[in-house]
Amino acid sequence: MGALLHPFARPAATDFVRMVRGSGAVVWDDQGKRYVDGLASLWYCNVGHARAEIAEAVAQQMQVLETYHCFERFSNAPAEELAERLAALAPVPGSRVFLTSGGSEAVDTALKLSRSAHAQAGQPERTLVVSRTPSYHGVTYGAMTLTGLPLNRKDFGPGIGDVVQVDKDDLDAVRQVFETNPGRVAAVFAEPVVGAGGVWPPAPGYLQGLRELCDVHGAHLVLDEVICGFGRLGTLFAGTHFGVAADITTFAKGVTSGYVPLGGALVAPSVHAPLSADPGFVLRHGYTYSGHGAAAVAALACLDITEREGLVDRATAIGRRLEPQLRALLDDGLVTDVRGVGALWAVSVPDPVAVRDRMLDDGVILRPIAPATLAICPPLVIGDDDLDAIAAALRRAL
């Protein structure tokens, strides 16, 4: 066994596919085998692999100043430039930006900012948080507790307190939490399209319903866009796709396409205004790498590419190309369900690991996710020929 303990893997495992090289939507392993990357690595590589432009921008920054922390009175220029750019793109005008190293930290940040903003606004008793099943929000104790996948909590002991879970499309259940806990709910967390929990688009009107309930009962709506953000659904942010404005939007993955780890939260005035109302208040939250300069430069380069190459619109075109080919599998009885939005899709099959393994042999990577689901989430730079290759390999494997 090697020294590397792999995440979400059997610690006893010894057989790994070792990637050594990439280009666009394609990667190669250490045996020289070529794969179409149908999951953008782990749902993140929107701009495609091994782009010199990003590497050069990051290298240039590192040769001047790799980063400098942003705690207390300190700051660095790339972090500020990225925050300004993201704030200008944010769905809610006047938003500010908190930066982290990844998605779980972004979710914990949203949880803490929400509770803290309520406390600063004179409602410290608002600590209850509502999340959904199934859902995936990450693995820190906060994000793990919010996650609606029971297996992910097994053997890890108690999670954080004051979290209530409801079924993903059940608005009445959320209403009931509000009504039985008046003045106690801080926030409702939802992925616009559930990602790792099964790729479930919301029921029509569901997210608008959540927004209305949060407005009526004085709670924050947090949209976890760690997968959906940065163009995946055909709009830069998924809230825009569904016509819903969040108080906090978490992001990671596509913001840097994974070139350097980065995540964060877009924080609307409803949350950041109470935090700055008392000029003496100190927000005692932050990670050493909150506002990492080289990561911010990578994000700026990814945004440049996303805009220049029209990748947000490309997500819609990917869906248009892929959906009929997936629906044909359904018509032919090879899969039992097809669902998705933009460039985020899934099919239901009885044994997704076996299908994945056959496709891997065939040079296409998809991801089996619970239960009985294969997820498709290609880089947004993927060409039509490689999209067709994914669909054809899936058909062969089935």
Ligand X SMILES: Cc1ncc(COP(=O)(O)O)c(C=O)c1O
Percent of the chain as helix, strand, coil, to the nearest 5? 40, 20, 40
H runs (alpha helix) in the chain: 40-43, 52-64, 77-89, 103-120, 141-146, 171-180, 206-217, 238-242, 269-277, 293-308, 311-331, 352-361, 384-397
252 touches ligand X (CB under 6 A): yes
Among 22, 103, 258, 342, binds ligand X (CB under 6 A): 103
* Rounded CA separation 348/328 (Å): 13
Whichever of 105 and 386 has its CB closer to ligand X, that residue is 105
Among 224, 311, 340, 387, binds ligand X (CB under 6 A): 224
Q: Give least dist CB 44 to ligand X, A.
A: 8
Q: Are 138 and 250 in contact (CB under 8 A)?
A: no
Whichever of 148 and 274 has its CB closer to ligand X, that residue is 148
207 touches ligand X (CB under 6 A): no
Whichever of 375 and 394 has its CB closer to ligand X, that residue is 375
Whichever of 285 and 396 has its CB closer to ligand X, that residue is 285
Residue type, 136: Y
Among 26, 149, 227, 393, binds ligand X (CB under 6 A): 227
195 touches ligand X (CB under 6 A): yes
Q: Which two tokens stand for residue 33?
A: 């085998």
Q: Give least dist CB 57 to ligand X, A.
A: 22
> Residue count at the site for ligand X (CB under 6 A)?
16
Residues 43-102 that bind ligand X (CB under 6 A): 43, 102
Q: Give least dist CB 244 to ligand X, A.
A: 16
Binding letters toward ligand X, positions 165-194, x by CB under 6 A: --------------------------x---
Q: Give least dist CB 105 to ligand X, A.
A: 7
Q: Give least dist CB 195 to ligand X, A.
A: 4
Q: Give least dist CB 33 to ligand X, A.
A: 26
Which region among 90-98, 109-117, 130-138, 345-353 touches ligand X (by CB under 6 A)?
A: 130-138
* Rounded CA separation 344/228 (Å): 8
Q: Give least dist CB 385 to ligand X, A.
A: 28
Q: Give least dist CB 330 to ligand X, A.
A: 25
144 touches ligand X (CB under 6 A): no
The residues that bridge with 267 in the sheet, in sequence order, are 96, 248
Buried b (16+ CB within 10 A) or exposed e, 307-342: eeeebbebbbbbbebbbebbeebeeeebbeebbbbb
Whichever of 48 and 148 has its CB closer to ligand X, that residue is 148
344 touches ligand X (CB under 6 A): no
Cα separations in angstroms, 261 against 105, 273, 299: 11, 28, 10
108 touches ligand X (CB under 6 A): no
Is the bond into 371 cis (omega within 30 degrees of 0)? yes
DSSP sequence for 317-335: HHHHHHHHHHHHHHHTTS-
340's enclosing H/E stretch is: strand 337-341
138 touches ligand X (CB under 6 A): yes
Q: Are 247 and 220 in contact (CB under 8 A)?
A: yes
226 touches ligand X (CB under 6 A): yes
Q: Give least dist CB 223 to ligand X, A.
A: 10
Lookup result for tokens 């927004």: 211
Residue nearest ligand X (C-beta atom): 103
Question: Pairing between strand 248-251 and 220-224?
Answer: parallel
Residue type, 40: A
Residues that bind ligand X (CB under 6 A): 43, 102-104, 107, 136-138, 191, 195-196, 224, 226-227, 252, 263
